[in-house]
Amino acid sequence: MGTNHFSVSAVRRTITLSGLLLGSLINFSSHATAEAGIDERPNIVVILADDLGYSDIGSYGSEINTPNLDQLAQEGLRFSNFHTTASCAPTRAMLLTGVDSHRTGVANIKEALTPEQAHSPFYRGSLNHNVVTVATLLRDAGYNTSMAGKWHLGYETESLLPINRGFEQTVTMPFSGGDNWTQQAYVPHYEKTLWFENGREITVPEDFYSSKFIVDKTIDQLENNLQAKENSRKPFFSYVSFQAVHIPIQAPKAFTEKYIGRYKDGWHVLRENRQKAVKDLGLLPARAPMKRMLSTTNWDELSEEEKRFNDKRMAVYAGMVDAMDHHIGRLVQYLKDSGQYDNTIIMFSSDNGPAASDVPPLWIKMLGYNNDYETLGERYSYGTLGISFGSAAASPLGHYKFHSGEGGMRVPLIVSGAQLADSLRGNISHSKAFVKDLAPTILALAGTQHPGTQYQGRPIEASTGKNLLPIFQASTDSVYTEEDIIAYEIGGNAALIKGDYKITLNRGGTNDDRWHLYNIKQDPGETEKLEAIEPAVFSDLLSEYETYARENGVIPVPPNYHQPIQILKNGLKAKLINSLNTPIGILFSLIIAAIVMVPLVKRLY
C-alpha cells in the first residue's frame, strides 16, 4: 500500500505557471494519485473466537500457550470490562450492525426458539434486512471486505448469506457450530455441516481442520486483493470467525498432548490459579471475591478413571485454544510479510463465555461420534468441556454461556495496531464496553459512520452502540456515563448494567429465577447480593430493564423454558422430520427422544 502522498494542494503551492499549464499539472497530479492508489485509512481485522472464557488466554491469566495473542496484547490494549451477550448469534448480530440483537431479528439463536417466539420479527434467528452491516458500509466507503468462518446469521435464502450482506469474498459455515475435521453434523438440526464460498456450497479439503482452513482462506482473500489491480489500492476489512472452542471440542493430537497431565489436580485448583493470575495482571481488583458455582462438582469425589478422562478433556480444550492462536500467528505473519501489518488494526474477542456443556454418550453415538479416551479430540471424536471445567474457564467470574452472570458475558477484548496511542500499549483499560460498540468503532476507524435510519432510500434500524475510538486514542478513559445502560435478554436470562451496578436474572438448574443486584466493579464475581441493601438502585435498574424490554420487543419465555433443553427439543424434532421417509427412522427417533431427554435435562445444568 502506498505511503508517499503526492497531493494536488502541493502542486498548487509550488507551481506558478499559466492557468493552462497549471490546470494540466493538476490533472496530471490527480491522475497520478489515482494510479498510486493513495488510501491511507487502516486495514481492519476482527477476529472472533467462539465460547472462549475470560481467562482462557495467557494475557488474561491462562496457563494455555497463546504467544501470538499475548504479543498483540503486549503491543496493544486489553479491556478488562468488555461484555457480549451470553449466546453466539445475538452477539454476532450486534457486532456487525451496532443494533440491539432483538431489533436485528436475532433475539435468540434459531436452534433455541419457541413456537411463540418464532412469530415475532425480532425472533427470526437470522439477520433482518432492516439493518445494514459494517461490511456493507465499509464496502460503500471504498474498502475491500471479506469474511471466513462461522456466520450463524441465516442461510435459508441467498439473501441471508454474508456474500449478500456486504462481504465481497466469503468462505462460511452458516450454522451454530460444526465438526472441525469433517462435514459431519454435530447436532441433529442439520444433516451435515455446510460450507459456502461466495454463496456456493463447497466441499472441504481432506486435510481440513477448521482453524487452519479459516486462516488459509483469510490469507487467500487478502492475497486476492493484492493481486487484483483495482483492489490492491484499497484498505481491507477482514472478519475472521473461528469455530474454536465451540463443541465438538477437537484439536490436533500434537496440540492436545502438550497439556495432558496439566489438569490432573482438577477444576478447583485451576479456578484458583487463574483467579490469582487475573488479579496479578491487574485485570480485576485484588480483593474481589471469587464465586464458586453450585453446579461445580467435587473433584475429590471422582474416581481415578474419571479424573484421568477429565484431565484429557480439558487438555483437548487447551489444545484447541493453542491451535487457534497458532493459526492467528500465521495470519499476523502474512500481514507482516506482505507489508500490510503496520497499517492494520486488529481486534480479538469472543462471542460469549465458555460453554459448560455435557452431552450424554448415547447422544454422541446417535450423531456418529465417540468420546473414547485414546482418541479424544481427534477425527470422529466429540469432546465437551463439562460444567465444572466450564466454570473454571471463566475464572474468577461466575456462570458461563447462556447465563447472564459475568462468566457468560464478560470476555477478552484485545485491540492492537498503529491507530492505538503509544501510551496505551501493553496497558489495560477498565472502561466498560459492549459488543454493540464495535460496529461504530470500526466505522470511525475507516472515517465513515452509520447512516442513521435511512439507507439507499429504505428505512433501517439506527446503530445505538458507542464509538470506542477516543479510548484507543487516549483522549478519554471511558465513553460511558453513569446514566448509560448496557442491557440484554436471551432465553429468559437477562441483565442490565448501569454505572458500577448490574442486575441479573438466571433461570433453571441451581439458579433461583429471581433478579439480583451486584456491584460488579468491586465484586465482578457477583458474590454479594445487594438488592436488600440498596433497594433504590435495584428499583432504578429494574425500571430501566422494563423500558428496555418494552422498546425492544422482548417476549417472555414459558415458565419451564431452558435454552439448552429447547435446543435439544428442536433438534429431536428436526431429526424426526428428516427420518419420516423410513419406518426405521421414525422408530429410531422416538426411542432416542425418550432415552435422551431425561439424562440431558439432568446434566445440562
Residues designated as active site: 88, 152
- Residue 229's identity, in one-letter code, is K
Which residues fall within 8 angstroms of residue 350, CB to CB, at 6 or more apart? 48, 49, 50, 51, 52, 53, 84, 411, 412
At residue 25, what is the residue type? L
**CA 230 to each of CA 143, 224, 226, 236, 336: distance values in angstroms, whole numbers, following the listed order:** 11, 11, 9, 13, 22
Please give the full DSSP string across 92-123, using - where no structure is assigned.
Answer: HHHHHHSS-TTTTTBSS-GGG--TTGGGSTTB
496-531 per-residue burial string, b: 16 or more CB within 10 A, e: under 16: bbbbebbbbbbbbbebeeebbbbbbbebbbbeeebb
> Which residue type sits at 497?
I
Amino acid at 189: H
Segments of 441-587 assigned E as strands = 454-455, 458-459, 485-490, 493-498, 501-505, 515-519
Q: Count how many Cα atoms sit within 13 Å of the Cα of residue 400 in the half-sphere of its side chain.
A: 32
How far apart are alpha carbons 560 and 566 in whole angstroms? 10
Cα–Cα dist 403/564, whole Å: 11
Read off the C-alpha cell for 602. 439432568
Q: Which long-range contacts (C-beta less than 8 Å, at least 24 apart) are formed by 576-581?
A: 578/188, 578/191
Closest of 316, 291, 247, 564 to residue 410, by C-alpha: 291
Angle (CA) 203 89 124, round 5°: 100
Q: Please tell me the distance from the alpha carbon of residue 139 to that of residue 146, in angstroms, as a whole number.
A: 10
**Alpha-carbon span 44 to 47, nearest angstrom:** 10
Q: How far apart are CA 166 and CA 238, in angstroms?
A: 12
Instruction: Report d(CA 272, CA 251) in Å as an integer.
Output: 25
Kind and range of the H or E element at 378? none
CA 13 vs CA 16, 19, 20, 191, 500: distances in Å? 8, 14, 16, 67, 54
Compute the distance between CA of residue 571 and CA of residue 562 in angstroms, rounded to an integer: 14
What cell does 16 get? 506558478
Is residue 237 within a helix (H) or strand (E), and if so which, with residue range? strand 236-241
